[in-house]
Structure 1
Amino acid sequence: MNYLGVLMGAILLTAPVYAASADQRGTGDLGIVVERAAGRIQIFDSSQRTKLASVSELGDLSHASAVFSRDARYAYVFGRDGGLSKVDLLTGNLEKRVAQAGNSIGGAISQDGKLVAVSNYEPGGVRVFDAGTLEPLADIPTGSKVVGLVDAPDQRFVFSLYDLGEIWLVDMSVPAAPKITKYPNIGQNPYDALITPDGRYYVAGLFGEDGMALLDLWHPDKGVRRILDGYGRGEEPLPVYKMPHLEGVAIAGKNAFLPAVGRHEILVVDMDNDWQEVGRIPVHGQAVFAVARPDGRQIWVNFAHPANDTVQVIDAATLKVVHSIQPGPAVLHLEFTPRGEQVWISVRDADRVDVYDTRSMALLGSLPADKPSGIFMTARAHRIGY
């Protein structure tokens, strides 16, 4: 054996050996369920489909969402009352909670995992915190309710202003000195937004008119342009019982599947063909979430009241509804396991979360939960816009 081989053998023989103890585990198959009425979250193991812990005293969780730290150990929970909570998923402890505003609608974590941004209704604006300590780093007043806040590549955040009809792009490379680019006159009342999985396109939905606003983050100097203008032209819109969500929207291949405001349809948009509409899929009711299975083959859709007991499955190849299930009253959210073999569905008024096999459509089991709403799995830690 040559000298290098002897040296490498010595290194291997003398390297420390770490034995996993019973209380050590990874976080890749963990997630949380928001128990909205109780101000509490459940931490669960998606492999075993079991509850691991509960974390209480998180405030008003009636419209709560969450993001995860880079190492997927910590969940940052955004409460409707403006609370920002940092939860340790391994210990089940509430590490810290700050009341950063009066009314909050969500948040995002930066590309490098060091910044947590919160979007606010009251007093409006975006506030940015150190992800480790939750100490405030930046305050970005907007004079408007903020919606559709997402992280973007190159240490940026993007969000929309509901009252002013604007999109703002913020470079947080220097947290103490945010660089803000404003795009005015994008349309009336942007209500939510998405960023495509590759981080290139930011799309804001409009509640005040039929259409959407698109910003190409590869070419932000070209400004915002309108897409899907007048998609409801000539038709009377239906009453809107619950606003659809665009964050986490279904992207399958070259197509995006977008809920149409005030209609019982999913719009199919060809992203490679200048974001032109290429089809419409009639569905059971007014869609709230349209979520793609991780492989993009299926689109799972839930609905607003009074059709909120049903979930439909669209085949992305044929653009047809191929399956319907009725988990129970008030289906609020859907979340896939990282590779998509299961989907977890919150059934608020039945006080449980149901787990379905996405191939056979069989019900695999249920997890008791007190008025569950959002379900968030740690795989989001490594995805843009989640």
Structure 2
Amino acid sequence: MKRRSLFDRILLALALLALAGPARAEPDAAKLFADNCAECHGADRLGRLGPALLPENLGRMMGTRAAAVIADGRAATQMPGFSSKLSRDEIAALAAYVSSPLPAVPAWGAAEIDASRVVHATAPPLERPRFEADPMNLFVVVEAGDHHATILDGDRIEPLARFQTRFALHGGPKFTPDGRYVFFMSRDGWVSKYDLWTLTMLTEVRAGINSRNIAISRDGKHIAVANYLPHTLVMLSADDLSVEKIFDVKDRLGTSSRVSAVYQAPSRNSFIAALKDVPEIWEIATDPNAGPVYAGFVHSHEKGMIEALPSSQGLFALRRIETPEPLDDFFFDPPYRNLIGSAREGRAIVVNLTVGRDIKQLDLPGLPHLGSGISWTWNGRLVMATPLLKAGKISVLDMQDWSQIKLIETPGPGFFMRSHENTPYAWTDSMMGSGKDTLSIIDKRSLEVVRRVTPEPGKTAAHVEFDRYGRYALVSIWEDQGALVVYDAATFTEVKRIPMSRPSGKYNVWNKITFSDGTSH
């Protein structure tokens, strides 16, 4: 075969290029964002009228899901579709852009939090609610499908109000001890105060950029906010959501950490914080008269040694409890003497909060979802039960010696488990597996599954919650075109269902403020 000359090869290459047409330039994602998204979501992607567009805040709504929302918009929100304005490549470039992390963590301190404040209304002085329903038997139902919440009369199981919330509420609402106010938190850090007696949104502030959950102090005066971004634990006044203190979260050696969760420990008058990246648990006093607490250690580079930090006392005094490794997803025994937390996959560690150290290590294959655990008395012994996220089983533990009593088989891995003091049954879902449409009902006396219910074949059934008296079990059909299904807790028969958009959680005022053994805290 005759070899082509260099000139011939160049001519051939030019011809092929001509046939291929002009090369397409890659879309400029930053400019596309500035032109189409910044007005609502902020030029810095930290949110404005719309939510923050960061991978930490979007959760699973990235990649192809983000592209679908950009193209088609989002129902029941102000998010329009851009499929008629932008090409497929431009939409893909935008989706990749908002799914990428920021080059640096922006500042978000007291000044930024205070500047974000939105005051919608002022709460009037009242002796009782402006409606006839029992204020202690109300439910707050979070509808994740279209970012709304419904206030439900727990006696009649009828809605009293429905209102739009911030984007992607996360971590469960918290109630003041008198049941009048409820506080919400969104994934992108907005804390909202709502008046249940007047059914009115009052005040909102943005306490973080990516937040995990909130807790309220036993006296109802302080709100703690656990943040992934920035690495802070923020204390707010429950009265007006003003900043009281910000902890820059670092371990005793100065290693920065995300805060994966914060909890109220009512009998201890404190908050307990789980740190994601360092082997410490923090306890923060919520009693202004708290005595001295030992604050921990700090590394002295000048002296090349570990030095003791001075003790602190009073409101927000910090106590550090060292653990063998970082712990997450806590469950507390009812007296709040011990907590059990998840470590590596299939491993859990029990920490005695009184002595401030770990006392037991457990192997629980299947990844326990401890934050959804419940407790009750069985044969004169206090026990707890927790779903396993990677196995169709419920693990039942003796809380005296933390031995495993039984593994209860379910149709598939579950996420939530609930019960009530006035019912002998515990309900658990199987939403993480092929049996996602079926709930298992366990007799707390025999530790056996006695019934299974399927609210709607093929549709995800999840998150059971009971009313104040344990008469009704409320179940979510966790779909955009979903429903709240109400069961008689004694006969397991359906009482009614209310259409809702992906009802992700139901929170009963009485069960939450009394720390019912059958519900998460």
Q: Same fold (TM over 0.5)?
A: yes
Aligned residues of 1:125 and 1:139 also touching (Cα < 8 A): yes
Residues 291-320 of structure 1, C-alpha deviation per residue, up to 9 Å, x if partnerless? 222236222111233332111111111111
| Equivalent residue runs for 1:226-245 within 5 Å | 226-228=360-362, 230-232=363-365, 245=369
Quote the Cα distance in structure 2 between the aligned partners of 1:308 and 1:122: 32
Quote the Cα distance in structure 1 between the aligned partners of 2:201 and 2:444: 40
Aligned residues of 1:149 and 1:193 also touching (Cα < 8 A): no
2:336 corresponds to which of 199, 207, 214: 199
Quote the Cα distance in structure 1 between the aligned partners of 2:182 and 2:282: 26
User: Are residues 1:134 and 2:247 paired?
Assistant: no
Residues 86-120 of structure 1, C-alpha deviation per residue, up to 9 Å, x if partnerless? 11112221111111111111111111111111112
Aligned to 1:382: 514
| Equivalent residue runs for 1:158-169 within 5 Å | 158-169=272-283
**Deviation, structure 1 residue 344:** 0.9
Q: Does the C-alpha gap of structure 1 residues 332 and 98 become closer, same or farther in structure 2, counting only changes over 3 Å?
A: farther
Aligned residues of 1:293 and 1:300 also touching (Cα < 8 A): no
2:426 corresponds to which of 287, 299, 312: 299
Quote the Cα distance in structure 1 between the aligned partners of 2:269 and 2:174: 16
Q: Does the C-alpha gap of structure 1 residues 341 and 123 become closer, same or farther in structure 2, counting only changes over 3 Å?
A: same
Q: Secondary structure at the match of 1:28?
A: helix
Q: Secondary structure at the match of 1:147?
A: strand
User: Are residues 1:155 and 2:272 paired?
Assistant: no
**Deviation, structure 1 residue 145:** 2.4
Q: Secondary structure at the match of 2:371?
A: coil
Q: Which amino acid aligns with 1:151?
A: Q
Aligned to 1:220: 355
Q: Which amino acid aligns with 1:216?
A: N
| Equivalent residue runs for 1:320-331 within 5 Å | 320-328=448-456, 329-331=459-461
Q: Does the C-alpha gap of structure 1 residues 227 and 74 become closer, same or farther in structure 2, counting only changes over 3 Å?
A: same
| Equivalent residue runs for 1:76-95 within 5 Å | 76-95=183-202
Which region of structure 1 is more displaced relative to structure 2, 308-317 or 296-305? 296-305
User: Are residues 1:343 and 2:473 paired?
Assistant: yes
Q: TM-score, normalised by structure 2?
A: 0.63
Instruction: Name structure 1 gaps, 5 residues minimum.
Output: 1-18, 238-242
2:376 corresponds to which of 248, 252, 255: 252
Q: Secondary structure at the match of 1:361?
A: coil
Aligned to 1:170: 284
Quote the Cα distance in structure 2 between the aligned partners of 1:258 and 1:21: 37
Aligned residues of 1:211 and 1:227 also touching (Cα < 8 A): yes
Of structures 1 and 2, the larger Rg is shown by 2
Q: Secondary structure at the match of 1:59?
A: coil
Q: Which amino acid aligns with 1:344?
A: L
Aligned to 1:240: none
2:145 corresponds to which of 37, 50, 66: 37
Aligned residues: 353
| Equivalent residue runs for 1:68-107 within 5 Å | 68-107=175-214
User: Are residues 1:49 and 2:157 paired?
Assistant: yes
| Equivalent residue runs for 1:352-363 within 5 Å | 352-363=483-494
Quote the Cα distance in structure 1 between the aligned partners of 2:331 and 2:482: 29
Quote the Cα distance in structure 1 between the aligned partners of 2:341 and 2:317: 21
Residues 159-212 of structure 1, C-alpha deviation per residue, up to 9 Å, x if partnerless? 211222432122232498522222234435x33112223333222123x23222
Aligned to 2:500: 369
Which region of structure 1 is more displaced relative to structure 2, 140-149 or 331-340? 140-149
Which region of structure 1 is more displaced relative to structure 2, 326-335 or 309-318? 326-335
Aligned to 2:404: 277
Aligned residues of 1:310 and 1:327 also touching (Cα < 8 A): yes
**Deviation, structure 1 residue 66:** 0.5
Aligned to 1:67: 174
Quote the Cα distance in structure 2 between the aligned partners of 1:21 and 1:317: 39
Aligned to 2:257: 144
**Deviation, structure 1 residue 64:** 4.5
Q: Which amino acid aligns with 1:249?
A: G
Q: Does the C-alpha gap of structure 1 residues 158 and 197 become closer, same or farther in structure 2, counting only changes over 3 Å?
A: same
Aligned residues of 1:183 and 1:224 also touching (Cα < 8 A): no
Quote the Cα distance in structure 2 between the aligned partners of 1:372 and 1:204: 27
Aligned residues of 1:37 and 1:61 also touching (Cα < 8 A): no
Aligned residues of 2:389 and 2:415 also touching (Cα < 8 A): no
Aligned residues of 2:372 and 2:386 also touching (Cα < 8 A): no
Higher relative contact order (CA 8 A, sep 6+): 1
Aligned residues of 1:301 and 1:311 also touching (Cα < 8 A): yes
Q: Which amino acid aligns with 1:160?
A: A
**Percent identity of equivalent pairs:** 24
Quote the Cα distance in structure 2 between the aligned partners of 1:22 and 1:288: 36
Quote the Cα distance in structure 2 between the aligned partners of 1:138 and 1:24: 39
**Deviation, structure 1 residue 283:** 1.3
Residues 314-342 of structure 1, C-alpha deviation per residue, up to 9 Å, x if partnerless? 11111111111112322232111122111
Quote the Cα distance in structure 1 between the aligned partners of 2:445 and 2:158: 34
Q: Which amino acid aligns with 2:321?
A: Y
Q: Does the C-alpha gap of structure 1 residues 156 and 296 become closer, same or farther in structure 2, counting only changes over 3 Å?
A: farther
Q: Does the C-alpha gap of structure 1 residues 137 and 176 become closer, same or farther in structure 2, counting only changes over 3 Å?
A: farther
Quote the Cα distance in structure 2 between the aligned partners of 1:336 and 1:266: 20
Q: TM-score, normalised by structure 1?
A: 0.84
Which region of structure 1 is more displaced relative to structure 2, 248-257 or 20-29? 20-29
Q: Does the C-alpha gap of structure 1 residues 367 and 22 become closer, same or farther in structure 2, counting only changes over 3 Å?
A: same
Residues 112-137 of structure 1, C-alpha deviation per residue, up to 9 Å, x if partnerless? 11111111221133211111111111
**Deviation, structure 1 residue 23:** 4.1
Aligned residues of 2:171 and 2:185 also touching (Cα < 8 A): yes
Instruction: Name structure 2 gaps, 5 residues minimum.
Output: 1-126, 250-255, 289-312
Aligned residues of 1:252 and 1:296 also touching (Cα < 8 A): no
Q: Secondary structure at the match of 1:312?
A: strand
Q: Which amino acid aligns with 2:443?
A: D
Which region of structure 1 is more displaced relative to structure 2, 100-109 or 24-33? 24-33
